[in-house]
Amino acid sequence: MAPSNDAFLAACRGRSPSRRPIWIMRQAGRYLPEYRAVRAKTSFETLCRTPALAAEVTVQPIERFDLDAAILFSDILSIADAFGIEVRFDPGPKIERPLRTAADVAILPPADVAACAYVFEAVRACVERIGGRVPLIGFAGAPWTVASYLVEGAGTRTFRHAKVLLWSEPDAFDHLLHVLAEATAAYLEAQVRAGADAVQVFESWGGALRPDLYRARAWPHLRRVLVRALATGVPVIAFVRGGEAVLRAIADDLPEGDLVVGIDHDVAMSAAVSIVGRDRVVQGNLDPMALFAPRAVLEAEAQAVLDGACGARGHIFNLGHGISKDTDPEQVAALVDFVHRA
């Protein structure tokens, strides 16, 4: 059943929507008091693994704001379950046995995405809970981004262990990204079968690698995921955070089809459109910190994004990264209203 609000899907496919669609990365999360009320009663792991709870928090922002899409509440490291890798959150992700060597990578078992069945059940629960009001976006982390956590064992600023594996054990590094790409593609395909109307792939740490290194060693694996996801027939959003240099490095090798290019806030939207081409649909890219600015400044910053995107084939308004947990929900409501009126 097609959602009654099809502005997001129309924009993804380069058609003219009834209004400029907007959704917000991490829109279901800690800045919402209703989310905090649910989270106070359960752990993050339980929230992700309980389809009814995941669906409840997925729809919270849809019920509060006039957003044009919902995004599944989950985590990019849920895919680790397909390999039997235990991840705990304390509060950030922690992997007890990081994949630091070629031997560690070699003993990875074959991926079994059925171990992520709770994610697919959550997609079905979200679809039922949304009731056809707006499209649902599924998602996954890109191979390099997921690998960086699995190798480092936690979040990092330096990516030392991941880079050492890339340089000292190139075959093991490529094998790790290959198996992650295959598992991620199957994971996204299963989300689409469960009812996701579109999917986004998050390359949150694309900028951690030098642009030429990213293009040569990480991008081919993400590109394979995107091609497989596009073959499902739903729109696919590729969000590669890394600024203008990384965007330029991959712009001439983007897959064809209903691929939306997510733009981070380190790139002027007008420059991004010039880099990826006017025949592309773009998404983004308001600096999340603009939501802390006075209302007039917030609107001016949002208008600059809208103006910058005017030359693209289509545009979906979003932030240039995830919303801050300290954001005032009233600012979000004002932003959504402004984008729809602009």
Say whether 253 is catalytic. Answer: no
Considering 13, 19, 39, 210, which one is annotated as catalytic? Answer: 39
- pTM for the full model? 0.97
Note the pLDDT tens digit of each residue in 173-211.
999 999 999 999 999 999 999 999 999 999 999 999 999
Please give the Cα distance from 302 to 298 (Å, whole number).
6
Q: How many domains does the chain have?
A: 1
Average pLDDT over residues 161-172: 98
* Catalytic-role residue among 75, 197, 258, 264: 75
Interval 283-330: pLDDT, tens: 999 999 999 999 999 999 999 999 999 999 999 999 999 999 999 999
Q: Annotated catalytic, 187?
A: no
88 is an active site residue: no
Range of the domain at 134: 7-341
CA separation for the pair 110, 227 (Å, rounded): 21
Is residue 278 assigned to a domain? yes
- Residue 154: strand pairing partners: 94
Is the residue at 285 inside a domain?
A: yes
Cα distance between residue 331 and residue 98, in whole Å: 40
91 pLDDT band, cuts 50/70/90, is confident
- Asked whether residue 213 is domain-assigned, the answer is yes
In a domain, 102, yes or no: yes
CB contact set of 170 (below 8 Å; sequence gap of 6+):
none
Do the domain assignments include residue 127? yes
CATH of the domain at 284: 3.20.20.210
Query: Which candidate in 31, 35, 149, 214 is catalytic?
Result: 149
Q: Is 2 part of any domain? A: no
Q: Would you say residue 322 lies in a domain?
A: yes
Verify whether residue 280 is a known catalytic residue: no
Taking only the tens place, the pLDDT of each residue in 16-58 is 998 999 999 999 999 999 999 999 999 999 999 999 999 999 9
**1 assigned to some structural domain:** no
Per-residue pLDDT band at 4 (split at 50, 70, 90): confident
Distance CA 68, CA 336 (A): 9
Query: Among 13, 19, 30, 124, which one carries the catalytic annotation?
Result: 30
Q: Is the pLDDT of residue 72 over 80?
A: yes
Residue 1 has pLDDT above 80, yes or no: no
Catalytic annotation present for 313: no
In angstroms, the CA 310 to CA 305 distance is 9
